[in-house]
Structure formats: C-alpha cells, structure tokens
C-alpha cells in the first residue's frame, strides 16, 4: 500500500489526520482514479466517499456502481481507521478483507465507506466497515478484515 515516496510525503511526528492524508493518498493510484474524498472521522473510525459516475458503473442496465469501487473504498477507509486509532501513519498492507453485500447502490447515489478499527494486536489491526448511501442504518455492504504492519507493530 505504501512505498518510500508515499511514506515520506505523509507528515511524521504529528497526530494522524485522515483529512490531510486523504488529500494526498486520495489523489494518486486507484484512490485518485475513483476520486475518494474525506467525509468524517472519530477516535477509531474514518469515513470516505465516492460520487457516482457513469464510468464506475458495473451494470449498464441498472446503473449500479461496480463492486470493486465499494471494495476499494472500504479497503482505504478501514486501513485509515487503524492509523486513526494509533494516532500515526505506519506502513501496512491488507491481509484479508471480506465484504458482504446487502443491496446494490442505486444509480446516481454517492457511496460512503466507514472503516472502524476495533482492535490492534502486536502485528495485526482488526477492522470492520460499512458502505452506505448517506444513512449508516441502511447499509449496502458490511466488511471485516485485517491489516498487517510492515515490520510488525512497535
């Protein structure tokens, strides 16, 4: 997920700030292509969002957004939730991420992805996530996953 140039572009020695980090990471690679935007955060969660676009549609008949867009959104939000809980950026990679789809996202609707870090062990961050269209109580998908720190937690 990161390399030396990514790591050096993210401020060190300060509390992790998902809005600032997304201004950088959300503009390169797949985050940049999808135009992921910061939405909100709390002590152990980060929420990002993606606006519906025709080029992100997976089913032209219905206009439903492609599942890979939702996967990418939740991968980024859940990863950032670990940094938010720890209070610092530390390189990590997705070890496992599972999504359970409950319903499609309607055509034209913005998609939000909230990642929540609920536990950090010596080497692994444990996360859950929710994708929704603005009402977190009406989810379109749930996620659960793990991330492993490159080099182990310190």
pLDDT at 95: 96
pLDDT at 22 over 80: no
pLDDT tens by residue, 49-66: 999 999 999 999 999 999
Least confident of 21-25, 42-46, 123-127: 21-25
Q: Read off φ and ψ for residue 47, nearest 5 degrees.
A: -120, 130
The domain defined by 4-149 folds into Thiol Ester Dehydrase; Chain A (3.10.129)
In what helix (H) or strand (E) does residue 45 lie, and over which residues does it extend? strand 45-50
Nearest to 123 by CA among 83, 84, 150: 150
In what helix (H) or strand (E) does residue 41 lie, and over which residues does it extend? strand 37-41
134-152: average pLDDT: 93
């Amino acid at each position: 997920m990161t390399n030396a140039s990514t790591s050096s572009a993210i401020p060190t020695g300060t509390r992790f700030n998902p809005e600032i980090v997304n201004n950088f990471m959300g503009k390169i690679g797949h985050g940049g292509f999808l135009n992921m935007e910061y939405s909100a955060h709390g002590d152990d969660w980060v929420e990002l969002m993606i606006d519906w676009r025709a080029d992100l549609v997976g089913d032209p008949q219905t206009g439903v957004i492609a599942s890979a867009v939702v996967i990418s959104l939740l991968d980024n939000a859940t990863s950032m939730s670990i940094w938010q809980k720890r209070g610092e950026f530390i390189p990590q990679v997705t070890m496992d991420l599972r999504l359970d789809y409950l319903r499609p996202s309607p055509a034209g609707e913005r998609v939000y992805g909230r990642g929540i870090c609920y536990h950090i062990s010596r080497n692994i961050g444990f996360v859950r996530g929710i994708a929704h269209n603005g009402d977190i109580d009406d989810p379109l998908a749930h996620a659960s996953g793990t991330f492993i720190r490159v080099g182990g937690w310190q």
